[in-house]
């Protein structure tokens, strides 16, 4: 494939990034069975080599581990990267709403001004940079008015510490509140062939307001990778182990979908996973697809999905097959 990586703008920020982004939740190790730092650094560097500029991370991914690994990987290459990280999941304070415990310590959802100002400095330090390109509220905090959160983020933008503002894990009402408060460039939400709910809820607002969408889990935690067959067994703290979406019946349905995608993949000299990702970034309102990778081979495979140019006929064929086979997927 000789095509260039597809690039798109983040909202109205003037920042352009690759349509395929690298998501680093798995790199943090938390809920993914630990992390291998050297492989993770290599995965990030391979992504950049392949034209992936968008790298998405968060303090919550291993409580700083993922950010530190990203920082090491981009040292000396900061200008090649559009860096997204997050705020709002905190363990330095007990303000806000208790969300879960991590290693026996409470993590709260908190988006108060003081907390955001503290968090941004921690992230800048771990990432080894003086600015974050896209700063995203990770989870929403019902105890803090959206106006206070947005005002704090706009102050950081004026100071040059962040360049664009995003929000994640939102209801439509929360999205509308951000729009009313002014200055939202992007949202980040789960979206895939098996989870298309935002098409009816958030996407219409984003299309109306010129807000970008960073979709995550395009391969549905690997379910749509074409590599997790009905025979696969999950172990340890793998979050897929007891997930009803990974039932054997569902994996059999996905296998039938993959069989229908196979001829299109062959034409494009691509894997089924690459075709699924390429389809995802062609859906109306979906601007970026964040794909996880824990080693250079996975990183390169994901990146190359951004160079595939599916025809309108390909898109229709894939969409019809997805509707037919994935219609009754649980969870």
- Catalytic residue (choose from 61, 135, 191, 216): 61
Euclidean distance between CA atoms 111 and 102, whole angstroms: 19
Token pair for residue 172?
């439509």
Euclidean distance between CA atoms 197 and 277, whole angstroms: 17
> Please, are residues 84 and 136 in contact by the beta-carbon 8 Å criterion?
yes
Distances (CA, A) of 10 to 17, 118, 127: 7, 25, 21
Residues 6+ apart with CB under 8 A from 5: 18, 19, 20, 50, 51, 52, 303, 306, 307
Euclidean distance between CA atoms 288 and 6, whole angstroms: 10
Alpha carbon 231 to its chain centroid, in Å, reads 28
The DSSP code for 93 is: -
> Considering only CA atoms, which of 195, 278, 199, 288 is closest in space to residue 243?
195
Token pair for residue 268?
């494009």
Token pair for residue 112?
């108060």
216 part of the active site = no
Token pair for residue 296?
């250079």
Token pair for residue 13?
């920020």
Tell me the catalytic residues: 61
């Amino acid at each position: 494939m000789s095509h260039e990586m597809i690039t798109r703008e983040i909202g109205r920020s003037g920042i352009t990034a690759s349509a395929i982004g690298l998501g680093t939740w798995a790199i943090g190790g938390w809920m993914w069975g630990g992390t291998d730092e050297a492989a993770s650094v290599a995965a990030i560097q391979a992504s950049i080599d392949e034209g992936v500029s968008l790298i998405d991370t968060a303090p919550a991914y291993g409580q700083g581990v993922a950010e530190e690994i990203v920082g090491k990987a981009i040292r000396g290459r900061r200008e090649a990267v559009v860096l997204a990280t997050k705020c709002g999941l905190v363990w330095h304070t007990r303000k806000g709403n208790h969300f879960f415990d991590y290693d026996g310590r409470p993590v709260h959802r908190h988006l108060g001004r003081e907390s955001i100002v503290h968090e941004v400095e921690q992230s800048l330090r771990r990432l080894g940079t003086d600015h974050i390109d896209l700063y995203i509220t990770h989870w929403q905090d019902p105890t803090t008015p959206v106006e206070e959160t947005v005002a704090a983020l706009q102050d950081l933008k004026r100071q040059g510490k962040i360049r664009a503002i995003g929000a994640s894990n939102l209801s439509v009402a929360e999205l509308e509140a951000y729009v009313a408060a002014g200055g939202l460039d992007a949202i980040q939400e789960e979206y895939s062939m098996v989870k298309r709910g935002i098409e009816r809820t958030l996407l219409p607002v984003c299309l109306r307001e010129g807000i970008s969408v960073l979709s995550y889990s395009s391969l549905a935690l690997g379910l749509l990778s074409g590599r997790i067959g009905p025979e696969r067994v999950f172990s340890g703290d793998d979050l897929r182990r007891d997930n009803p979406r990974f039932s054997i019946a569902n994996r059999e349905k996905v296998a039938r979908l993959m069989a229908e995608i196979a001829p299109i993949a062959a034409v494009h000299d691509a894997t089924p996973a690459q075709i699924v990702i390429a389809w995802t970034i062609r859906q109306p309102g979906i601007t970026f697809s964040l794909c996880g990778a824990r080693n250079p081979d996975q990183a390169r495979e994901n990146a190359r999905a951004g160079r595939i140019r599916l025809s309108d006929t390909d898109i229709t064929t894939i969409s019809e097959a997805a509707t037919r086979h994935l219609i009754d997927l649980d969870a």
